[in-house]
Amino acid sequence: MKLIVYSAIDVGLVRKNNQDSILVDEENGLFIVADGMGGHQGGEVASHLAVQTISKRMNDKTKRTNSPINDLRQACTEANATIYQESKDNLQLRGMGTTLCMFFFPNGKDQKSYIANIGDSRIYMEKEDKMWLLTEDHNFITTQQKASFLSGEPMPAPSSEDNILTKSVGFFPKMEPDILEKKLEPGEKYLICSDGLSGFVPYEEIHDILKTCALQDVPEECIKKALEAGGGDNISVIAIEVQ
């Protein structure tokens, strides 16, 4: 079993700088999208530090354990501590943070993959003309939706606070990622993206791209659709197919 991977990143039509960072490490089976926040400089620094710290930790075989889930959790903890400390040491970076979406395939005999998520970057899976969202957005509106479902009370009216993150990497002293373990199957396609795509292009259109486009065209087609929708944020896309 092997992975075929293509990726693309675009600044969009509104922002002047790119606060997204991505990692495509096919040799070690590690793929990351991080969407930084905290102003012009802070967002760039936070997403870069997250990708750099996690890549270093996951590729250091002296620190790896027999548990990929534990390794991912420790890598996220290190990234959070690094970003948080940097924001305390540098006044210009105060309050920075980043989302984080990771797909890790250690290529063991069990053919299991591992997904870690903090924030509202997303991972979708497409197979046999169906698509699933594998991650949960950690933002205010998702919290409201859960509370509404559990209480039976109607959702409050939409507000400007709906997309405020409730979890991110580096903004608080501690954080806990969501981690999912999944066995890979041939024919599955995975899409890792920042909300520069998912926040502007409807679920159905992303699904249609995954269903109909050759894998090598998926990232650029996603970016094209996001730009047509206004390109209001940086856009990062990693497309993966299991063969």
Number of domains in the chain: 1
Cα separation, 189 vs 125, whole angstroms = 6
Tens of pLDDT along the chain (243 residues) come to 899 999 999 999 999 999 999 999 999 999 999 999 987 689 999 999 999 999 999 999 899 999 999 999 999 999 999 999 999 999 999 999 999 999 999 987 789 999 999 999 999 999 999 999 999 999 766 665 555 545 565 545 555 555 688 999 999 999 999 999 999 999 999 999 999 999 999 999 999 999 999 999 999 999 999 999 999 999 999 999 999
pLDDT of residue 155: 45
Displacement of CA 233 from its chain's centroid (Å): 15
pLDDT of residue 193: 98
Q: To which H or E segment does residue 87 belong?
A: helix 68-89
Cα separation, 172 vs 81, whole angstroms = 9
CATH number of the domain to which 45 belongs: 3.60.40.10
pLDDT of residue 139: 77
Give the phi and the psi of residue 44 in degrees, each rounded to 5.
-60, -45
DSSP state of 215: G
41-44 CB contacts, 8 Å cutoff, 24+ apart: 41/92, 41/93, 42/87, 42/92, 42/93, 42/94, 42/95, 42/96, 43/19, 43/96, 43/98, 44/17, 44/18, 44/19
Displacement of CA 26 from its chain's centroid (Å): 17
Under a CB-based contact definition with an 8 Å cutoff, are residues 86 and 98 in contact? no
Instruction: Give the number of other Cβ atoms within 10 Å of residue 198's Cβ.
Output: 23
Polymer length of the chain: 243
For residue 151, what are the domain limits?
A: 3-242
Cα separation, 94 vs 99, whole angstroms = 16
